[in-house]
Homo-oligomer: A and B are copies of this chain.
Amino acid sequence: MTNSRRATIHDVARMADVSAATVSKVMRGVTSVKPANVVRVKEAISQLDYRMDPLASGLRNEQRRIIGAVVPDLESPFFGALVTGLESAAEDAGYTMIIASSCEDEGREADLITRMDDWRVAGTVLVPVRSERGRGAEQLHALDMHAVLVDRVSASDRFDTIAADNFAASASVADLLVGQGHRSILLHSATRISKAARTRQEGFISRVQALDPTVRIDTLISDGGVEGHRAGIRSYFDKMDPNDPITAVFSLSQHSTLIVLGEIRRREMRIPDDVALVGFDDAEWMRITWPSITAVAQPVEQIARRSIATLLGRVEGNIDGFRVQHLEPCELRPRQSSGQRPMMLRNSRQYQRD
């Protein structure tokens, strides 16, 4: 477009009457430069409005100040928030992020990892479609890349892993529901391959059995896109024995909560009187909708910060010790759908129709 080319490191060097190498040192904060020269270089930099080209900068080095992030989808608020946190943490450390969505496809996931390697990223944050054994993780290992695995993982001996404490949180859901006297509970999952969902299932079941082995737990795991899920839950209710119905549902993901809720609404069942509902993964609408939905909130921000910190620890510190598994505690937020009383009305007159 316009002809005025952008200032390079050589322009700065010329203006400050030093060599390019010296400018490079000043830029990176290396100390072995005479103070007087530092001043002149900085002067020239601001005079020319010089900004370094991160691309050229990375070329010479084996590792570049880029972090890759691969998540299963970007439309869910959970991953959106996660990515926002990752980006912010990476930026604070002076890294640029390249974000990509695997669209819940393991083949694409492996391709994206390869592409991250093409960019010679310093490290990669992977939220696998499946688990720490999925194709993305395999590719990370095959290409010998630095990485942390996040969310849909349990411990791995190849990579550091970071996730919400799905097991403990699900156990606390079990405490809540069994404590309220539910004796027939449906566990609903909208994916059979997510490690997180499997861990939630295990955490819930093991606690329920410890509390009361006579409680019946039905497990419904459906697949096949929205229609498949719909059909699955519909047929479950159709076949359910009216004399021994389930009285509570624990849905294992936000998506699953929506599906279950849709079906409950369609059948005009009352929440929580006919059936109580608790969902894993909180969302703003769950607080607002009526009745409000009890949910487990995941500490997204925490997970994001720790992911970057752990990854950069490996990358920069060149730590080579045992792989660590981080579990971040979740928070159970009881609301109306599990029998919590509605919030009191305060600070305002009641609106009256005439």
Residues of A within 8 A of B (CB): 1-2, 51-56, 58-59, 64, 73-77, 79-81, 83-84, 87, 96-101, 103, 114-115, 117-120, 144-146, 234, 237-238, 240, 242-243, 245, 258, 261-262, 265-269, 274, 283-285, 287-290, 343, 345, 347-354
One complex includes copies of this chain to the number of 2
Contact A98 B100 (CB under 8 A): no
Contact B265 A290 (CB under 8 A): yes
A84 to B84, CA, bound (A): 14
By beta carbon, the residue of chain B nearest A78 is B75
Set of chain B residues within 8 Å of A115, measured between Cβ atoms: 96
Set of chain B residues within 8 Å of A289, measured between Cβ atoms: 261, 265, 285, 289-290
Cross-chain contact of A258 among B1, B267, B285, B352 (Cβ < 8 A) = B285
Contact B354 A243 (CB under 8 A): yes
Contact A266 B343 (CB under 8 A): yes
By beta carbon, the residue of chain B nearest A84 is B74
Residue from A58, A74, A348 whose CB has the most chain B CB atoms within 10 Å: A74
Contact A120 B55 (CB under 8 A): yes
A97 to B352, CA, bound (A): 53
Contact B119 A55 (CB under 8 A): yes
A132 to B215, CA, bound (A): 60
Q: Can you show 26 pairs from A to B with CB atoms below 8 A apart?
A: A1-B144, A51-B118, A53-B118, A53-B120, A54-B119, A55-B55, A55-B119, A55-B120, A56-B59, A73-B84, A74-B74, A74-B80, A84-B101, A87-B100, A234-B347, A237-B348, A258-B288, A261-B288, A265-B289, A266-B343, A267-B351, A268-B345, A268-B350, A269-B351, A285-B285, A285-B289
